[in-house]
Structure 1
């Protein structure tokens, strides 16, 4: 039985590495112009939501931001998500705030690890790698994450 668990775990880790690597390769066609780190709390019952904050690093300067999200569908539980990633297609900080929606397929890997590419109305792309702690069953879709900044 332990051998089966190790085999399954090995397969899951291999698939996770391939999927995350695929997202990274897709994003690396362009050179990142900045980095983000995000801390977010997710909650829900029927309609889900999230609130959080993060830091954008752009041209050597750090810019704090806040975010709010909404998901529809069956969404039950409370969890905490942290993410890091790269920012693409941004020439100035004022292009960063806005509503980010899914740009490419998201992935959910075992053990609370996932990846997501988001794009806002200004064409700014975030390629995120996330880790989630807690219990959150989401059978819906993220409709958007709104980023705001004090400038």
Structure 2
């Protein structure tokens, strides 16, 4: 199990908006993939989050679903998330339980950010565009599972460029 000190260092580094990308790579490990997904969160003290997305890793796309619980949040929101995956050595290491530190302030539209890490040392840093009404500053436990499908994966997040 990783030390509390290491988790604290990573959390402080990532929750700061002034962290330079080069410094983030030093702390988190090498960027090894990207994620895009749509999620929904409903909370009344304790909350639940669910959604679907796509991991892009080694030139291939892998659809996944996410679900989990959080504490210290109230309201409902949904939105698009994009992020970088760090320290992913094998595709098998992506699935599993992630612990996250996140903050959200959504009234109509808002922004959220999360740092997630699983037991294999895979880290995901997310930037989220949310809509709804939700306030959260909480730790959460999220499970990511690949969706088994013979169809080619397609990103569920529309390209707004």
Q: Which of 25, 29, 40 in structure 2 is aligned with 1:28?
A: 25
Distance 1:48 1:65 in 2: 21
Deviation at 1:122, TM superposition (A): 1.1
Any conservation in 2 of the 1:42–1:81 contact (CA below 8 Å)? Answer: no
Q: Does 1:51 align with 2:70?
A: no
State the TM-score, normalized to the length of structure 2: 0.70
CA offset at residue 21 of structure 1?
4.1
**Unaligned regions of 5+ residues in structure 1, if any?**
1-18
Residue 134 of structure 1 corresponds to 132
**Residues 81-123 of structure 1: CA distance to partner in whole angstroms, max 9, x if unpaired?**
3211111111111100111113xx6455786223221100111
Q: 1:107 to 1:79 in 2, by over 3 A?
A: closer
Would you say the 8 A contact 2:104–2:136 is kept in 1? no
Partner of 2:12: none
Aligned equivalents of 1:101 and 1:116: distance in 2?
10
State which structure, 1 or 2, has the greater radius of gyration over its C-alpha atoms. Answer: 1
Question: Residues 47 and 23 (structure 1 numbering): CA distance in 2 closer, same or farther, change over 3 Å?
Answer: farther
**Contact 2:102–2:139 (Cα < 8 Å) also in 1:** no
Cα RMSD, aligned residues only: 2.4
Structure 1 segments, 4+ long, off by >3 Å, are 23-26, 105-111
CA contact (8 A) 1:49 1:70 kept: yes
- Structure number with the higher helix fraction is 1
Report if the CA contact (8 A) 1:27-1:127 is conserved. no
Of 120, 143, 146 in structure 2, the residue corresponding to residue 146 of structure 1 is 143
